[in-house]
């Protein structure tokens, strides 16, 4: 039954996503993925050509989910400042409502792209580029319109990734700093507020001198 097949496929993807997020690509064995999916290792190869392809599909699924949540915000026709606010909110929602996402993403960003030139890897790169272009374009628009300070757009994009993806991937360390689970509703709300406030102030046109100290 095709339904069962899809069911198995998704179970594999779910299990692999959780495992890859926790211990990384090389840290997870296919036997483990299979067991967590209620299957046997050799059965995985009926759904995926190789471990690398499975990994790519996991990443692609995660990126697609995120892009799906960001797309309507990008398309909305409100002011740039509010659009940026909503992007932050949507991005954090996407990262928070599905725990493995942030870790998986951060890992895939840091991991060396040693995955053989597959079409899946290319789709991953494209989706990622779309998301980043969206954020970068938003910032550029704000700067050009004089709503934001004259910041370096690529650097600000990097900062935003770090402020969101890293935070929700920081696991025990972040939990130790916060004193409570990173994903609890209140801390998620606070994270949104903190980042948004930081941007409201940090991107605002400043009347004060840029450089305070020059040792």
Binding site for DNA (CB under 7 A): 1-2, 4-5, 8, 28-32, 34, 38-43, 45-47, 50-52
Rg (CA), the chain: 20
**Of residues 4 and 214, the one with the C-beta less far from a copy of itself:** 214
CA 174 remoteness from chain centre = 17
User: 99: buried, middle or exposed (CB in 10 Å: 19+, 13-18, 0-12)?
Assistant: middle
Residue 211 is a binding residue for a copy of itself (CB under 8 A): yes
Interacting positions 115-134 with a copy of itself (CB under 8 A): 128, 132
The pair of three-digit structure tokens given for residue 153, joined into one six-digit string = 């757009």
Part in contact with a copy of itself (CB under 8 A); list of ranges 7-15, 51-59, 101-109, 138-146: 101-109
User: 60: buried, middle or exposed (CB in 10 Å: 19+, 13-18, 0-12)?
Assistant: buried
CB of 11 to a copy of itself, least distance (A): 23
- CB-CB contact of 206 with 149 (8 Å): yes
CB of 209 to DNA, least distance (A): 52
Contact of residue 82 among a copy of itself, DNA, none (CB under 5-8 Å per partner type)? a copy of itself
Integer angstrom CA distances of residue 31 from 38, 115, 161: 10, 20, 33
Per DSSP, the three-state class of 24 is: coil
Q: Can you tell me the distance from the alpha carbon of 25 to that of 144, in angstroms, rounded to the nearest whole number? A: 41
**Of residues 20 and 168, the one with the C-beta less far from DNA:** 20
The pair of three-digit structure tokens given for residue 180, joined into one six-digit string = 């409570």
Contact of residue 144 among DNA, a copy of itself, none (CB under 5-8 Å per partner type)? none
Per DSSP, the three-state class of 129 is: helix
Contact of residue 75 among DNA, a copy of itself, none (CB under 5-8 Å per partner type)? none
Residue 181 is a binding residue for a copy of itself (CB under 8 A): no
Interacting positions 34-73 with a copy of itself (CB under 8 A): none
Chain residues binding a copy of itself by CB under 8 A are: 22-27, 78, 81-82, 85-86, 103, 106-107, 109-113, 128, 132, 136, 149, 151-152, 154-159, 161-167, 169-174, 177-179, 190-191, 193-204, 206, 208, 210-213, 215
């Amino acid at each position: 039954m095709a339904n069962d097949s899809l069911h198995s496929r998704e179970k594999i993807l779910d299990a692999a996503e959780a495992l890859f997020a926790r211990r990384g690509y090389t840290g997870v064995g296919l036997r483990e993925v299979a067991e967590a999916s209620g299957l046997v290792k050799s059965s995985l190869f009926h759904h995926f050509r190789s471990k690398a392809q499975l990994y790519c599909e996991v990443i692609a699924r995660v990126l697609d989910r995120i892009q799906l949540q960001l797309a309507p915000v990008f398309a909305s026709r409100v002011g740039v400042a509010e659009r940026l606010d909503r992007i932050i909110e949507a991005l954090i929602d996407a990262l928070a409502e599905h725990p493995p996402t942030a870790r998986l993403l951060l890992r895939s960003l840091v991991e060396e792209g040693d995955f053989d030139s597959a079409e899946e890897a290319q789709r991953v790169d494209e989706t990622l580029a779309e998301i980043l272009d969206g954020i970068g374009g938003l910032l550029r628009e704000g700067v050009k319109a004089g709503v934001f300070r004259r910041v370096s757009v690529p650097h600000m994009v990097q900062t935003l990734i770090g402020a969101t993806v890293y935070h929700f991937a920081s696991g025990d360390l972040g939990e130790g700093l916060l004193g409570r689970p990173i994903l609890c509703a209140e801390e998620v709300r606070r994270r949104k507020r903190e980042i948004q406030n930081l941007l409201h102030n940090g991107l605002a046109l400043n009347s004060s001198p840029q450089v305070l100290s020059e040792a």
